[in-house]
Amino acid sequence: MLIAPSILTADFTRLGAEVEAAFEAGIRWLHLDVMDGRFVPNISFGPLVVRALRPLAERFGAVLDAHLMMVEPERYLEEFVAAGCQYVTVHVEVSPHLHRTLQAIRALGARPGAALNPATPLSALEEILPELDLALVMSVNPGFGGQTFIPSCLDKVARLRRLLDARGLDRVALQVDGGVNPATIGSLRDAGATVAVVGSAFFTPQRSPAASVAALQAALSAPR
């Protein structure tokens, strides 16, 4: 299972150093939570931050994954891909022409993803699965870091895993975002998730990125 730290909870006064420490600890997937203050009740950052992190990611061969929590994401696709994002994920709740948006992401040379909020049924994603390289299940209501994992989302992850397997779509990354920590990551892996987005349980004053990686890997290795 890939661990994808979210920079949302990092110390932005020393963001480059924190991200570099994560890469030095073995991280090769960085999650970028982009919020517009409209789709979610918060504002985070834009393509300039992505562009600033790109040289670090290229030096370590790491993936930059943009999770666009915004209305009208299609207006900004080109900017985020040009800034260095290899994956771009949009929400089904704000994409009435989702197929067209996913095609636009792929045409720009990036890998398209689609995200579901906790209350959005899995059926909203079912028809578009073959067009995806990434399916994201939100396990908290998006907008803020440090929230508690919603247990019912575990079943949604398991059902999506079965759906992907039944259709021969094992190439699609199954990502989970929200409340992921050493206590929840093992259950998510067992349910079939392949990429775990970790925010406040990764970038924290209480431990270094290397210690966070060790804690998460220990949880994944523990007998169940």
pLDDT of residue 148: 87
pLDDT of residue 223: 80
Residues tagged active-site: 33, 177
> What is the distance between the alpha carbons of residues 164 and 19, in angstroms, rounded to a whole number?
32
pLDDT of residue 189: 97
User: How far from chain centre, in Å, is Cα 162?
Assistant: 20
Give the Cβ contact number of residue 164 at 10 Å.
20
Q: What is the dihedral of CA 201, 31, 91, 37, to 10 degrees?
A: 80
**CATH number of residue 33's parent domain:** 3.20.20.70
Parent domain of 44: 2-221
- As for how many domains the chain has, the answer is 1
Q: What is the mean pLDDT of each run of 10 residues along the chain (224 residues)?
A: 95 96 98 95 95 98 98 97 98 95 98 97 95 97 78 96 97 96 96 96 94 97 83
Percentage of residues in the chain having pLDDT higher than 90:
93
pLDDT of residue 139: 94
> What is the distance between the alpha carbons of residues 154 and 106, in angstroms, rounded to a whole number?
29
pLDDT of residue 2: 97
Phi, psi of 180 (to 5 degrees): -85, 130
Residues 5-23: pLDDT tens digits? 999 999 999 999 999 999 9
pTM listed for this prediction: 0.95
